[in-house]
Amino acid sequence: MVVFFDIDGTLLDQRKAESYAAARFLESYGDRLPRCPTPAEFCAEWRRLREKHNADFLRGAISSEEKRRRRMRDLFSETEPRLPDKEVDERVALYSEQYRLGWTLFDDVRPCLDTLADASPLGIISNGSYERQMRKLRHTGILERFDVIVISEDVGAAKPDRAIFHDACARARCAPREGVHVGDRLDLDAQAGCEAGLRGIWLDRAVDDPPSRVERIRALTELRRLLA
């Protein structure tokens, strides 16, 4: 059995990093937006813009850098519709640097990895930029914990496409039925993993989500018991 993990929202507390970056970014540019939002409002809009441009990125039509530029242009489209490229890149760089400074693991990550270290090979299956996702693992000190790391930009397929799951299993030299995939997204992680033939487990950190037919845990510390 090989246990694969998603990264953002599963291992890395992405929303905490986004909130940290938003607060710093708004200190510099909040007064240039249509109305100065709260960090929570900024994060909600930033996530919406990520989803807006993610499809083009995940199918390889634009780079991760271009995706961030498009998000930034959209953010200021009402107040600064002709924002020069240099200014766009400066704002992207400011946000990205603060976002990196906010990268931290959830408290249950290291205990979970420790309990599985001698039980199963571990891997990563993640959508996103190869360079950035690798930097997250390296920055948080867990890169060496994983035997196989598969990032959508590197393999040319993104979750929920079963191809990315099968690629990860092939690299791990296991059949899909011998793989487990754990992630915080019901659709992209748990359900997609199941449809690809793996055992998909939904890491549902919320307390008010509706029931689901897939296996569900509330914290990664529950994983070892479930797998046993």
Mean pLDDT (whole number) for 31-43:
91
Please tell me whether residues 123 and 60 are part of one structural domain: no
Using the predicted structure, report yes or no on whether residue 35 has a pLDDT greater than 90: no
Please tell me whether residues 193 and 115 are part of one structural domain: yes
Please tell me whether residues 189 and 153 are part of one structural domain: yes
Nearest to 108 by CA among 205, 207, 180, 188: 205
In DSSP notation, 41-70 reads: HHHHHHHHHHHHHHHHHHTTSS-HHHHHHH
What pLDDT, in 10s, does the model give residues 195-221? Answer: 999 999 999 998 766 767 899 999 999
Please tell me whether residues 191 and 158 are part of one structural domain: yes
Mapped onto helix, strand or coil, the DSSP state of residue 63 is coil
pLDDT band at 134 (very low <50, low <70, confident <90, very high): very high
What pLDDT, in 10s, does the model give residues 51-108? Answer: 999 889 888 899 989 999 999 999 999 999 999 999 999 999 999 999 999 999 999 9
* Average pLDDT value over all residues in the chain: 94
In DSSP notation, 130-194 reads: HHHHHHHHHHTT-GGG-SEEEEHHHHT--TTSHHHHHHHHHHHT--GGGEEEEES-IIIIIIHHH
Q: What's the pLDDT score for residue 208?
A: 65
What pLDDT, in 10s, does the model give residues 49-61? Answer: 999 998 898 888 9
Q: How far apart are CA 207 and CA 192, in angstroms?
A: 22
Q: Determine the structural domain holding residue 223 and report its residue range.
A: 2-13+104-227
Q: What's the pLDDT score for residue 206?
A: 84
Please tell me whether residues 112 and 221 are part of one structural domain: yes
Please tell me whether residues 38 and 72 are part of one structural domain: yes
CATH number at residue 122: 3.40.50.1000
CA 175 to chain centre: 25
Nearest to 132 by CA among 219, 207, 64: 64
Q: How far apart are CA 122 and CA 51, in angstroms?
A: 28
Nearest to 134 by CA among 103, 156, 165: 103
Using DSSP bridges, classify how beta strands 148-151 and 122-126 pair: parallel, antiparallel or unpaired: parallel
State the DSSP H helix or E strand holding residue 3, giving kind and residue range, or none if neither.
Answer: strand 2-5
Please tell me whether residues 145 and 201 are part of one structural domain: yes
